[in-house]
Amino acid sequence: MNRLIISLEEKLHKGIVSFVYLKKDGSRRNANGTLYGIGHTIKGNGGRSCKWTLNYYDVDCQAWRSFLIENLISVGEVRQKTIVPIFHGKRVILHS
């Protein structure tokens, strides 16, 4: 695994991160995602479902997304004022 994907995974666990990757259709996705404070929503055994993909929570779409790790283009910094997701059932309400 390259350093860029490792950097993204570490940052996603600290807060909301902006990053860019190529989608299946070849277009670029500018994503704002996190893995901070949402572990209780992950189903399964807690491991990666596939070693070639990275799952993240898209804070703009309020939905889970994934992408091929080889398609990662760039990674930004963790936002200083991270918005922490608060869960009510299955719906996510974001508070600043």
What is the pLDDT at residue 96?
Answer: 40
What is the pLDDT at residue 6?
Answer: 92
- Is the pTM higher than 0.85? no
pLDDT mean for each 10 residues of the chain (96 residues): 89 93 96 83 59 91 92 91 53 48
SS (H, E, C) 4-27: HHHHHHHHHCCCCEEEEEECCCCC
What is the pLDDT at residue 37?
Answer: 81
